[in-house]
Amino acid sequence: MKISKSFIPTLKEVPADAVIPSHVLMIRSGMVRMVSAGIYSFLPLGYKVIRKISEIIREEMNAIGGQEFHLPALNPKEIWEATNRVEAFGDTMFHIKNRDYVLAPTHEEIMTFHAKGVLKSYKDMPQIWYQIQTKFRNEPRPRSGVIRGRQFLMKDAYSFDTSLEGLDKSYELHDKAYRNIFDRCGIKYFIVGASSGAMGGSKSEEFMVQSDAGEDTVAYCENCGYAANIEVAKSVIDPVKRDDVGKEVYEISTPDVKSIDELCEFLKIDERETAKSRIYIHDGKPVLILMSGNDDVNESKLELVLGGNVRSAHPEELSDITGADAGSIGPIDFKHRIIADLRLKGGNNLYSGANKNDYHVGGIDLERDAPKTEYFDLRSIESGEKCTRCDSELAVFKAIELGHIFKLGTKYSEGLGANFVDENGEEHPIIMGSYGIGVERVLACYLEQNHDDNGIIWDNTLAPFHCHLIGLNMKSELISGTCEDIYTTLQKKGYEVLFDDRNDVSAGFKFNDADLLGLPVQIVVGERNLKENMIEIKERRNNEKQKISLDDLYQKLEELLK
């Protein structure tokens, strides 16, 4: 491709709305342009890379027996209603105004629709069906460029099995394929245990890239490799203390004391001697959630414990439920379900709200005074806490989710009535798995990990072109003629070449563009060198330059680009 005839609108300036490196680089190198928040056009250079990533994904999906589909993005709403997912997606789902259609945010429903009545017998399975196709989600805060789009490309795959053992096998195959895909793309990733959340199902793992630009938080143990999304991550429980002498429950007047910090200050006690109460509404019924001190409730953990619909109670509901306002609520004589964090189990002489404004109680022994309390791990863990496997310190950091593999089970086959008949003629719902990769996120994560101050650093695999041929003074016939020869020969040898043949920009401008675009090898043809039959080549990864004889170019390239 000759630059003079191509559309690669590079920018010198950093775009105002771009903060993270991948976003900046994709815009500056002319790979994408934003159309509206969370909606991007891929320009030719960017789309070339997307196609290379897609091809790697295809090869690895086909290698595990995957068969490629192309499903519609425009879906009748009723299919989504059959699985209650119009409600589950809520505002994230785009609705079409003049018809009962939605834009698909994922494709479990449509794939299950195709399996229904077709995968009828146990003999028809296993099957792995996939596609690489556009998804639509009304993400509330689209930022970080293509990492969170409202329209984005996903590879989504679905497995159909007749037994849990079969599902295990399909899941393992995808796990392997995903490792191959991300390894081939040159991305450093790690795998975390994740919450299956509202999707239903059992085991689920996410492929993550550590990055401050990420919106997921993960806990990681460098010593033993334990890694989990904060939504499910565990650490060694550090329980609150149990005094030898337990007091009786007693009331304390605490005027204007609302927060845990104010209570600690007022009574001159430690945060760990307090238990903070919050009211949630679960399927219409109040539940009191009790945490030690200021520990936060991790709402994903809470949802997993409770299942169904969970929300925090509105302030105006509190006094009806407890007799007090926020800040004075507590477990003593509470009429409904109480769920406490594991840290509180066995603690005594605790302080909490009295369910009476401006009063607290002390001397609480939860097992004695609120014996029906149930205990679960509800806390978000923090850096420095101990790993449950090896007792080393856990690190908690931000990460980007590249891909997700899920054991779905029968949620969708039951919802849509996709059943099969087993060896004994009995009918069962098909057992499914679902497996996604954000294709644009693969590109963004690669760029997050492979750049320097001057621009992108491509490996041979994903690079939009293998080499960048730069003719320094294209007005010179010697240079332009030599470059044309090199350009033709390299293409004949199967290389993809970007040829900077412009004769109206300076050498410095060309070098800056070449470093920004970051193709693996730059071939610089200049007058002084050429008079000695020499050219210069530069490896972008280490910025090493070498003067070599023109005759050695092809041999050298073969070495560098193997």
Nearer to ligand ATP, 440 or 515 (CB): 440
Question: Which residue is nearest to ligand ATP, using beta carbons?
Answer: 438
Phi and psi torsions of 275, nearest 5°: -130, 120
Both tokens assigned to 99 = 């018809």
Contact assessment for residue 132 and residue 107, using Cβ atoms and an 8 Å cutoff? no
Phi and psi torsions of 86, nearest 5°: -65, -45
Concatenating the DSSP letter of every residue in 185-236 gives TT---EEEE---GGG--S-EEEEEEE-TT-SEEEEE-TTT--EEETTT----
| Count of residues engaged in binding ligand ATP, rule: CB under 6 A | 17
CB of 440 vs ligand ATP, minimal distance in Å: 6
Nearer to ligand ATP, 108 or 295 (CB): 108
Both tokens assigned to 557 = 């390239």
Nearer to ligand ATP, 313 or 444 (CB): 444
Burial class of residue 322 in the structure, from the number of CB atoms within 10 Å of its CB (0-12 exposed, 13-18 middle, 19+ buried): buried
Write out the binding residues for ligand ATP, residues 416-475 only, by CB under 6 A.
436-438, 440-441
CA neighbours within 13 Å on the CB side: how many for 274? Answer: 26
139 in contact with ligand ATP (CB under 6 A): yes
CB of 509 vs ligand ATP, minimal distance in Å: 34
Nearer to ligand ATP, 141 or 531 (CB): 141
10 in contact with ligand ATP (CB under 6 A): no
| Dist. CA 209–CA 187, nearest whole Å | 8
- Collapsing DSSP to helix, strand or coil, 417 comes out as coil
CB of 129 vs ligand ATP, minimal distance in Å: 16
Q: Which of 18, 93, 132, 154 binds ligand ATP (CB under 6 A)?
A: 154
401 in contact with ligand ATP (CB under 6 A): yes
149 in contact with ligand ATP (CB under 6 A): yes
Residue type, 508: G
From 145-153, 270-278, 367-375, 472-480, span contacting ligand ATP (CB under 6 A): 145-153
CB of 235 vs ligand ATP, minimal distance in Å: 22
Write out the binding residues for ligand ATP, residues 201-260 only, by CB under 6 A.
215
Q: Which of 272, 282, 404, 466 binds ligand ATP (CB under 6 A)?
A: 404
Q: Which of 402, 472, 524, 553 binds ligand ATP (CB under 6 A)?
A: 402
Both tokens assigned to 423 = 């060896």
3-state secondary structure 343-391: HHCCCCCEEEECCCCCEEEEEECHHHHCCCCEEECCECCCCCCECCCCC
Phi and psi torsions of 411, nearest 5°: -55, -45
> Pairing mode, if any, of strands 216-220 and 451-452?
unpaired
Both tokens assigned to 561 = 């680009």
Helical (H) or strand (E) element with 536: strand 534-539
From 58-66, 149-157, 234-242, 418-426, span contacting ligand ATP (CB under 6 A): 149-157
CB of 147 vs ligand ATP, minimal distance in Å: 6
Contact assessment for residue 275 and residue 288, using Cβ atoms and an 8 Å cutoff? no
| Dist. CA 252–CA 273, nearest whole Å | 15
In order of 68, 131, 281, 408, the CA distances from 418 in angstroms are 20, 20, 34, 14
∠88-91-97 over CA atoms, to 5°?
A: 110
Nearer to ligand ATP, 50 or 479 (CB): 50
| Number of residues that this document lists for the chain | 562
Both tokens assigned to 123 = 């003999």
CB of 462 vs ligand ATP, minimal distance in Å: 16
Does the N-terminal peptide bond of residue 126 adopt cis geometry, omega within 30 degrees of 0? Answer: yes
CB of 481 vs ligand ATP, minimal distance in Å: 46
Nearer to ligand ATP, 194 or 514 (CB): 194
> Pairing mode, if any, of strands 250-253 and 359-364?
antiparallel
295 in contact with ligand ATP (CB under 6 A): no
| Dist. CA 451–CA 544, nearest whole Å | 15
276 in contact with ligand ATP (CB under 6 A): no
Nearer to ligand ATP, 260 or 405 (CB): 405
387 in contact with ligand ATP (CB under 6 A): no
152 in contact with ligand ATP (CB under 6 A): yes
148 in contact with ligand ATP (CB under 6 A): yes
- Give 103's strand partners: 74, 94
From 146-154, 244-252, 362-370, 509-517, span contacting ligand ATP (CB under 6 A): 146-154
Nearer to ligand ATP, 6 or 106 (CB): 106
Q: Which of 10, 54, 106, 357 binds ligand ATP (CB under 6 A)?
A: 106
> Pairing mode, if any, of strands 127-136 and 67-68?
parallel
Nearer to ligand ATP, 142 or 353 (CB): 142
From 365-373, 382-390, 398-406, 537-545, span contacting ligand ATP (CB under 6 A): 398-406
CB of 416 vs ligand ATP, minimal distance in Å: 19
CB of 356 vs ligand ATP, minimal distance in Å: 42
Interface positions with ligand ATP (CB under 6 A): 106, 137, 139, 148-149, 152, 154, 215, 401-404, 436-438, 440-441
